[in-house]
Structure 1
Amino acid sequence: MAEEVEHTKESWPENVVVRVRGPFYDVWTAQGVIRCVVRGALKRERRREDLVVVGDRVEVRIVGPGEGVIEAVAPRRRALMRRARDREVAQVIVANLDQFVAVFAAAQPELSFGMLDRFLVVAESQELPTVICLNKVDLDPEGRARAALAPYRAIGYPVVETSVVTRIGLEELWRMLEGKLSALAGPSGVGKTSLVKAFRPELELRIGAVSEATGRGRHTTTASELIQLDERTFLVDTPGIGVLHLWAVLPEELGQYYREFRRYLGSCAYRDCRHLDEPGCAVRAAVEAGEIDAGRYERYRAIYQDLEEEAERQGRWEVERLRRERRTR
């Protein structure tokens, strides 16, 4: 059982949800952490998957010592979200972030560039500043994973290389986190909880190992939790993500979320160019000229195909409605 994280009053934003436990929501208030339930009318107004999440700013009515009712949820400034598995609804992972830290391992488990690119699409669609953290670099003595991230550095993503074992990069990561509310997200087994514990070693957090049979991490963090690192710095440790389905992203807008594509958008022969097989495509010409990384482009094609299949399944008008809803929540 993970230790209950203690929070101090200094600089902590009031009425913010710090953890979700089944039907209960722990909310930091001026009176300390209050365990709350959600008002019945609010449940009917909002979807269950999108009801109240870590990072939400809420209105709380105190009903007893250490107990309250969430009456309302403030509009979310930014949110890290995905499509819920097997259902056409949004699953918000954490709300109101200052930045997102995509954590991947140099080895054990192997770095998934497909998932990294999907994370970046989510972040770009939410205008969410992003840091790429390559953890476990002590397991990559030849630097292959580090070298493979060169295309991401080239297009402006900050990349920090860390190891909890050797403590390489922890000071640099701290400078990126300091004074912000950040979320660590990535596959299971990449060391997200170990990084949190590196900054708060007194916490009794469960840390798992990578399965030798599958090469995948085992889930140890079962729910997102907002942790205070110092008076101005807050970090959300999220459960490991095995599959990241994009939420309400139309196929034709996908290219906008690739930073390296943007300078070429509008220069194609066709206004509605998908940047796949159309003649006169400026993006494909840039790939052939080596100005856009070929691996990133091939993964773009795969994601585009997935989004087209999803749009056909849902119906385009429904996808457009969901996109508008996403931008107004």
Structure 2
Amino acid sequence: MRLGPVTASADRDAEYFPGVVLETVGGIYQVALDAGSTIQASLRGRLKQELRLGDRVVAGDRVDVARGDDGSLTIEAVHPRRTRLVRAGPGGRKPKVVAANVDRLAAVMAADHPAFRPETADRFLVLGEVCGLEPVLVVNKMDLPGAEALGPALEKRFHAAGYEILLVSVESGRGIPEFRDLLSTGITILAGPSGVGKSSLLNAIAPGLKLRTGEVSRREGRGKHTTVSARLLELPGGGWVVDTPGFSEVEFWSLEPMDMARAFPEFRGLEDECRFRSCTHLHEPDCAVKEALESGAIDASRYASYRQLSSSE
């Protein structure tokens, strides 16, 4: 197998083939090498020991691969990450890195079936903000009856806060060209509850992916998970997307109050006007955020979401 151009390793004892991790399954890492080929590699023993106490290697990680004398391919080094998409671990465990070096988070919701829940959308958008990604709200299934009635509420709650909103429908084709343009540069992660149509949206812009789509339970309005682990997919025409398992809610790890406040873009620029530099915008007097709330400059439902998220930390 020809692996292509190499780079010298730090210890000059070997040569590395740089690439990006596409997916990890059972200790085997699928890597797209910069030279153009896709290979499978294992993790070097020393690196396993180093990572045991830290983050695991995930989709989006930049790595260096070496070939042993026996022809085996191993990941020898993991590059520093630009960004990390992190989710809280189950049962109070430490936060878990889902994907690395992601540029934006597309929070995908459905207009209905499952029902649109603004508080859930807030959680995904806040997750993107906290992780340093560009959050965008994508509302799918706009062809369903009553979907257009969401428009004013979306404008008031999300667009006014500074978020880009894409209204799309796989069935009618509405907004699909704009969705394709959104994903045409950098790495985008699709996050959102199961059943909202993330895989269907990807199939609409890249039919060659042939991703499985899940049915939605009529009784509970929840979709069946069709993606087992995060994986990085290259899109025709440019761009990469991280396909993740569907999940119905986002739980946050321990965040400082100011970190949560910074995740609400409509608060930015107001904190300098608060009486206290460490103002949490919850109970302090002379708070510029609460004054903006009272004047109607900040949407009351968004502020309620901020209070709920802050109190859950």
TM-score by length of 2: 0.87
Which residue number corresponds to residue 66 of structure 2? 61
2:139/2:165 contact within 8 Å kept: yes
CA distance in 2, matches of 1:14, 1:59: 4
CA distance in 2, matches of 1:133, 1:264: 27
CA displacement at 1:65 relative to structure 2? 9.2
Superposed CA offset, 1:64-98 (max 9, x none) = 89852111111110121111111431211111112
Alignment partners' CA distance in 1, 2:99 and 2:32: 16
Residues 229-248 of structure 1 aligned to structure 2 (within 5 Å)? 229-248=235-254
- Equivalent-residue separation in structure 2 for 1:207 and 1:189 (angstroms): 8
- Is 1:279 matched up with 2:269? no
Could you tell me which runs of 5 or more consecutive residues in structure 1 were left unpaired when the two chains were aligned: 1-8, 308-329
Contact 1:225 1:236 in 2 (8 A): yes
Q: Deviations over 1:269-307 (max 9, x none)?
A: 333322113332221121111110000100100111111
1:304–1:225 Cα change, 3 Å: same
Inter-CA distance 87–32: structure 2 relative to 1 (3 Å threshold): farther
Number of aligned residue pairs: give it: 296
Instruction: Tell me whether 1:215 sits opposite 2:221 in the alignment.
Output: yes
Q: Judge which range, 231-240 or 166-175, deviates more.
A: 231-240
- Determine which structure has greater relative contact order: mean sequence separation of CA pairs < 8 Å that are 6+ residues apart, divided by chain length: 1
Which residue identity is paired with 2:199? T
Structure 1 residues 42-57: aligned runs within 5 Å: 42-47=47-52, 50-57=55-62
Task: Say which of 190, 194, 197 aligns to 1:188.
Answer: 194
Distance in 2 of aligned mates of 1:47 and 1:136? 42
Bigger mean CA deviation after superposition, 296-305 or 37-46: 37-46
In terms of mean alpha carbon deviation, does 32-41 or 167-176 score higher?
32-41
Deviation at 1:106, TM superposition (A): 0.7
Which blocks of at least 5 consecutive residues in structure 2 are unaligned?
A: 5-16
TM-score (normalised: structure 1): 0.83
1:169 aligns with 2:175: yes
1:18 counterpart residue number: 22
Aligned-residue CA RMSD (Å)? 2.2
1:66–1:157 distance in 2 versus 1, CA, 3 Å: farther
1:274 counterpart SS class: coil
Moved over 3 A (4+): 63-67
1:262 aligns with 2:268: yes
Quote how far apart the aligned CAs of 1:158 are: 1.0
Amino acid at match of 2:251: H
Question: Hey, what's the Cα distance between the residues in 1 that align with 2:53 and 2:247?
Answer: 20
1:41 aligned partner: 46
Alpha carbons 1:16, 1:56 under 8 Å: kept: yes
Aligned-pair identity in percent equals 40
Distance 1:64 1:187 in 2: 46
CA contact (8 A) 1:100 1:123 kept: yes
